[in-house]
Structure 1
């Protein structure tokens, strides 16, 4: 399945791919939220200027983006309920997905329902069946390692489903650019190591699950950064020890015992793995922090107040949810495209989150 998903991801990057709302946002200098509201017809409610709306609609026409009004009308014939399943709310990424989904659903006059499943496949199926029994109009499936059974349940009920974060071959998907983002942050960390007179092969990628799409793409991006410099990471540079803090803490303890110090560079594969790093290093002498540069494929503003050098990569939850609703607006039951949303550093997406100032 991983091979097919990677092929789908590569295909989505070809020049023949369909235009997305991210393309329109980039072409017009607008936020993805603004583009979404113009295309779904709610822009006047949020006092978006008419000239802004016209500019976005003209750009959509030039880019070949077609809004399927018939598909949009689907919501009028059902319950007004829309659902999302996700693993949990414990990190800012999933919490951000949930909040943004709720905001955009309400902007469309819909009532959102969000349920955490704790990554338990049996709970995922049970929750999906319950939401379908309540006649939800659509279901967003976030962070599910194998969403195909859930997609099939939705298809049988005639309900559109969109996979978020982790793709599947049973429905269209919207994912972060895991590979490109991992390469970008790895480049930053290698540069920091070189500036400190350290060897790049001391950089370690810690966290994630073997065989999982996001983890494999981030590993590929990590290796891409090394390959571009014609150097190789250490043989044990990648440790897919899991996403939870306890697993990361244990993996770090093993490396610390072996080296007698922290590795010179650490790229944590998620904010939960990053929490394990913070927990482990809090037991060490203060000087232990100063010897390591740290990166994280996730973002939390509180990291700016930590005592060590940290670079965080941020996933654009606004664009992910907007692209997902755009796929619903143009829903095709046979469509299996994968929309890839760029990542950025720090607060690069803050402009898109200013939901009260939509290009006035």
Structure 2
């Protein structure tokens, strides 16, 4: 006997003056599937019979369109879906995290999901609280972006039967999708060395500014910085060329002021680790009576289009947000539980061109690279 809509309302599939209620046969016709497939989707056994999620979603949407008004809570139970996708980011101040959130929302909506993005404020207690809240709303999966130690949150998700993925910073308890920081930093440092050499010679001084010690992104970028200068000089740069002064503008402003005072000039080139730190460098430059930054090649591992309007050229590394989010969704869909995927960043030299495969001189690659599971 044909199963009928729970509300008893007639839909577009009605016939004979609107008296007939939509049935699973109408849904099967609309979706070009079999009545058995429709029945298995609507009674929640579709996964057991290896019916694809896309087909299940298509059947559910057709049921709604045809007036087969399934109660949404019952539908969530039957399809094991809430229709919600969750993401935790540190904050929205940084363009990178704002772009991650925007791409996540866009990709979630194309999959028929309602995105929920919440700030964790880089505070472990807040991060756990918002993760628990999102899980209480039965999100289907969680993205953790920029969480320094995501393993407790990944385990929290696993205990709830909810898949998770780490973006930007990796963790051992879930799949991770991160920028190839080392390759990007290597490319940016080589660019700075080439430009500084035109004014100061092949041994031009290059300093690294920003970031924090023992942090994944900073460590990778410092490694790429060292790779490029070791290649140039035959020896790694002195440790005093690397100033991990933090990410906040006031910290980098104080650090570049101290460097200027120590040298009696600016270095021949300056590698700035993040847009927030770059903001502090620009603030210091504005405080100077003369313009000594004309003799300093500037590079930033981060990107903002407004940098093109500064009175000095800036080379930038732009993280490939779209690819990172696409790969993160693919890893969730693939049921992966560990391992880190490195995404080559984009390189934006002084002329504003966007170039793919930053760091390709050191590692020949033009696409994502999968690493072995962490640990």
Instruction: Please indicate the TM-score interval, normalised by the length of the shorter structure.
Output: 0.7 to 0.9
**Local SS of the residue matching 1:282:** helix
Distance 1:69 1:270, change over 3 A: farther
Q: Which has the larger radius of gyration?
A: 2
Larger RCO of the pair (alpha carbons < 8 Å, separation 6+): 1
Whether contact under 8 Å (2:165, 2:328) holds in the other structure is yes
Equivalent in the alignment of 1:134: 137
Q: Is the 8 A contact 2:176 2:338 kept in 1?
A: yes
Aligned twin of 1:257: 261
Find the counterpart in structure 2 of residue 5 from structure 1. Answer: none
Paired residue secondary structure (1:312): strand
* Partner residue of 1:193 out of 196, 203, 209: 196
Secondary structure in structure 1 of the residue aligned to 2:240: coil
Q: CA deviation at 1:309?
A: 2.5
Offset at residue 200 of structure 1 (A): 4.0
Candidates 106, 110, 117, aligned match of 2:113: 110
What stretches of structure 1 of length at least 5 have no aligned partner? 1-67, 351-360
Alignment of 1:237-316 (within 5 A): 237-316=241-320
Which deviates further from its counterpart, 192-201 or 119-128? 192-201
Query: Please, what TM-score do these two structures have when normalized by structure 1?
Result: 0.74
CA distance in structure 2 between the aligned counterparts of 1:236 and 1:71, rounded to whole angstroms: 55
1:234 and 1:71 map into 2 onto residues whose CA distance is: 55
The secondary structure found in structure 2 opposite 1:84 is strand
Question: Which residue in 2 is equivalent to 1:339?
Answer: 341
Give the distance between the partners of 2:201 and 2:96, measured in 1 at CA.
32
Change (3 A) 1:102 1:286: farther
Cα distance, 1:157–1:209 mapped onto 2, change above 3 Å: same
Task: Give 1:231 deviation, angstroms.
Answer: 4.1
Please give the alpha-carbon distance, in whole angstroms, between the structure 1 residues aligned to 2:227 and 2:207.
14
Match of 1:169 among 157, 169, 172: 172
3-state SS of paired residue (1:204): strand
Aligned residues: 281
SS at match of 2:143: strand
Structure 2: which 5+ residue stretches go unaligned?
1-49, 58-75, 357-375
**For the residues of structure 2 that align with 1:349 and 1:318, how far apart are their CA atoms?**
15
CA distance in 1, matches of 2:210, 2:51: 43
Q: Does structure 2 retain, via aligned residues, the 8 Å contact 1:69–1:329?
A: no
1:197 CA drift (Å): 2.3
Change in 2 beyond 3 A, CA 1:132/1:293: same
SS of structure 2 residue aligned to 1:224: helix
Query: Match for residue 212 of structure 1?
Result: 215
Match of 2:83 in 1: 80
Does 2:127 align with 1:124?
yes
Residues of 1 paired with 2:211 and 2:281: CA distance?
A: 14
Maintained 8 Å contact 1:147/1:167: yes
- Distance across 1 between alignment mates of 2:87 and 2:347: 27
Are 1:82 and 1:112, in contact at CA under 8 Å, matched by a contact in 2? yes
* Conservation of the 8 A alpha-carbon contact between 2:184 and 2:347: no
Are the structure 2 counterparts of residues 173 and 242 from structure 1 closer, same or farther at C-alpha, using a change threshold of 3 Å?
same
Return the offset for 1:267.
Answer: 0.5
Note if 1:318 corresponds to 2:319: no
Give how far 1:205 is off. 0.8
1:348 alignment counterpart? 354
**Root-mean-square deviation (Å):** 1.9
1:47-85 CA-partner distances (Å, limit 9, x unpaired):
xxxxxxxxxxxxxxxxxxxxx975776994221111111
1:195 deviates by: 1.2
Cα pair 1:200 1:233 within 8 Å, conserved: no
Stretches (4+) displaced over 3 A? 68-76, 198-201
Q: Give SS of 2:112's match.
A: coil
Preserved CA contact (<8 Å) 1:71 1:330: no
Structure in which a larger fraction of residues adopt helix: 1
Deviations 1:133-164 (A, max 9, x none): 01000000000110001001100000010000
